[in-house]
Amino acid sequence: MSPGLGNLDPSLRHAWHPLCRSSDVSDVPRSFRLLGEDYVAYRLDNGDVRVFRDRCPHRFAPLSLGSCEGAALRCAYHGWVFDEDGACVEIPALGAGATLPSRARLDGPAGVAESHAMVFISPEPARTPLPSIASALDPQFERGDLPEMLTRASAGLLADNFLDMAHFPFVHAGTFGAGEAREVPSYSVTRDGYTFSATYEHEFANREDPGVTQGIRPLLQRRRLTYRYTAPFHLELAIEFLDAGGTNVIGFFLTPVDDDAVRIYSSIWRNDLGGSRERMREAIDFEVAVVEEDLRLQSRFDVLELPLDLTEEVHTRADKTTLELRRILADFVAHVREAQALE
C-alpha cells in the first residue's frame, strides 16, 4: 500500500489551516497547536493578530506564558521582549544599551490571515487559496458557531466524510437521515485548481416546514445541495430549500493537530431564522448532533490516512466528490514535492 495523506504530511505546511477563532485571540497570549507544533497568538492594540511558534529562542519557554506590553511580547522566563515583527528588543539580564544577538528572534508562519471570524495560518508560503464562503459576506445571513471539537481522526478522512452523500440514511438515522433516499442522484463535479464544487437537486420530505401543516405546500419538496471544497480541509455545504425558501450553509474547517488528532471549527449561516437566537441555538444543537454521529464512526478508524492512490479503494459513481478530493490532494502533494525537489 502506498502511503496516504496523514495529518502531519510535510506538504500540508504549504497550505492554509485554521489556527483558532478570531474571538480566541486577545492581548493575553494563547497557545494553539497545528501540524504537530505549538503557536502563540495575540492581538495588538490596532486589532492585528500576531502568530509565532510558541517557543522562546532563549531557553524554549512557551511564549504563551508571557504577556503583551503594547505591541511587544515579554517572555515569562527571563523577560526578553520581542517586537511585533518578532525581533528581540530587550534582554533584561544584559542591561540597557546592550548589543542583542541577531538570532534572538521569533519564528513565524509564512502567512497569517483573518477570515470568516477565524485566524488561518500557512507555516510555509501557501499554494492553496484561503476558503471563501459567499453567504458569510451576505448581510441577510446570520452566523452561528458550533463549539470547537477535538477528535481522534484523520483530517483527510473527515473531509471525505463531509463530502460523502451515501452515508446519510445509515450514520444519520438519528437526525436528518431517517427519511433520506438511499440512492445518490447523479451529479457532476466541477474542479477549479485546488477547489471543486458539486451540485444536485432532489426531492425530500420537508417535515420542518410549517407550510406543510398549513396546507400551503406539499410534503415532498425540492432541495438543492451544493458542496464546495478548498484544499486541503475546508468544506462548505449550501442547502437551498427551493419550495419553502431559505438557505442553510454549513462550513467545516479542519485543523490537523497531531498525527491522530483534528480540531473542527464549524459554523452555520442561515437566512431563515429572522434574528431568533433561540432558533439559532436549536440549529447549532442539531448540527452538533449530526457531527457527533459522524465522529462516532470516524474516531474509530484504524487507518489515520486518506488513501491518495485511487487503486487502493473501491469507488462507485456515487463517490464522485470524494474521488475528486483524493485527486486534488494527490496533485497538491505531488506539486509541493516537485517544487521541493527543484529547490
Binding site for ligand FES (CB under 6 A): 56, 58-59, 61, 75, 77-78, 80
Handedness of CA 59, 83, 35, 258 (dihedral sign): positive
Shortest distance, CB of residue 72 to ligand FES, whole angstroms?
A: 13
Our CB check for ligand FES shows the closer of 80 and 176 to be 80
Residue 294's binding partner out of Fe ion, ligand FES, none, with CB under 5 to 8 Å set by partner kind: Fe ion
39, 293 Cβ separation under 8 angstroms: no
Binding of Fe ion at residue 180 (CB under 5 A)? no
Shortest distance, CB of residue 56 to ligand FES, whole angstroms?
A: 3
171, 160 Cβ separation under 8 angstroms: no
Residue 324's binding partner out of Fe ion, ligand FES, none, with CB under 5 to 8 Å set by partner kind: none
Our CB check for ligand FES shows the closer of 61 and 225 to be 61
Radius of gyration of the CA atoms of the chain, in A: 23
Q: Return the residue matching grid coordinates 502533494.
A: 333
112, 51 Cβ separation under 8 angstroms: yes
Shortest distance, CB of residue 248 to ligand FES, whole angstroms?
A: 47
Among 54, 236, 287, 294, binds Fe ion (CB under 5 A): 294
Question: Cell digits for 224?
Answer: 438543492
Rounded Cα distance between 149 and 259, Å, is: 16
- Angle of helix 155-163 relative to helix 320-342, nearest 10 degrees, comes to 150
Binding of Fe ion at residue 160 (CB under 5 A)? no
Question: Cell digits for 7?
Answer: 495529518
Shortest distance, CB of residue 290 to Fe ion, whole angstroms?
A: 6
7, 260 Cβ separation under 8 angstroms: yes
Our CB check for ligand FES shows the closer of 60 and 170 to be 60
Pairing state of beta strands 30-34 and 37-43? antiparallel
Residue 75's binding partner out of Fe ion, ligand FES, none, with CB under 5 to 8 Å set by partner kind: ligand FES
Handedness of CA 146, 150, 155, 160 (dihedral sign): negative
Question: Cell digits for 13?
Answer: 505546511
Our CB check for ligand FES shows the closer of 62 and 169 to be 62
Residue 25's binding partner out of ligand FES, Fe ion, none, with CB under 5 to 8 Å set by partner kind: none
Shortest distance, CB of residue 121 to ligand FES, whole angstroms?
A: 22
Residue 59's binding partner out of Fe ion, ligand FES, none, with CB under 5 to 8 Å set by partner kind: ligand FES
Shortest distance, CB of residue 157 to Fe ion, whole angstroms?
A: 12
Residues engaged in binding Fe ion (CB under 5 A): 294
